[in-house]
Amino acid sequence: MLHGVDVSAHQSSFDADGLDFVFIKATEGRSYVNPRLNDQTKRARDADCVVGFYHFLWPGNIAAQAEYFVSKAPEKAGDLLAVDWEQNGEGTRASNAEKDSFIREVKRLRPNHRVLLYCNRYFWLNHDTTSYAGDGLWIADYVTAGKPRIKASWRIHQHTDQPLDKDVANFASRSAMRTWARK
């Protein structure tokens, strides 16, 4: 198992030493860009981590959100892309069809990149109706690292949010993850 974190503007800094991968929040909706995106990307790249970027999905305007995400997320061969599908601050969420549409649109816009679905166990079990996760499922379930309580295949498991979001990836080595990421 590989070890990584996912960060957003809430983390003014993070220690990349010993990490294999880092996911960075890039965008949300059609107007928000993480103000720490460039600094966090540099920190992850300087530590030779596999780097991924995610978009927090809102309901509606799916094609516009996908275009916004790919216009703001750095583009480098081997970078991973993900959609964060969960309840937003207004208590709403994108539908399952919107989630699927967003993943497909990002894959169309960036065909040489892997696109993953991030969601928590509750969403996966109660809101997902297609089991479509693009190129891989990134599941949040706060239990023992690498043992999420789902039957689906997964690539990344977020197992805690203390003191920040920590993840493990189901790859034998950083090199194997990097090779997979490069499609």
In this predicted model, what pLDDT tens digit does every residue of 3-23 receive, in sequence order? 999 999 999 889 999 999 999
In this predicted model, what pLDDT tens digit does every residue of 143-176 receive, in sequence order? 999 999 999 999 999 999 998 999 999 999 999 9
In this predicted model, what pLDDT tens digit does every residue of 87-113 receive, in sequence order? 999 999 999 999 999 999 999 999 999
Point out which residues pair with 82 in neighbouring strands.
Answer: 54, 116
pLDDT of 179 above 90? yes
The structure's pTM equals: 0.97
Distance, in Å, from the CA atom of 183 to the CA atom of 181, rounded to the nearest integer, reads: 5
| 3-class SS string, the chain | CEEEEEECCCCCCCCCCCCCEEEEEEEECCCEECCCHHHHHHHHHHCCCEEEEEEECCCCCHHHHHHHHHHHCCCCCCCEEEEECCCCCCCCCCCHHHHHHHHHHHHHHCCCCCEEEEEEHHHHHHCCCCCCCECEEEEECCCCCCCCCCCCCCCEEEEECCCCEEEEECCCCHHHHHHHHCC
Distance, in Å, from the CA atom of 69 to the CA atom of 83, rounded to the nearest integer, reads: 10
CA 8 to each of CA 52, 63, 170: distance values in angstroms, whole numbers, following the listed order: 12, 23, 23
Looking up tokens 């809102």, which residue turns up?
A: 58
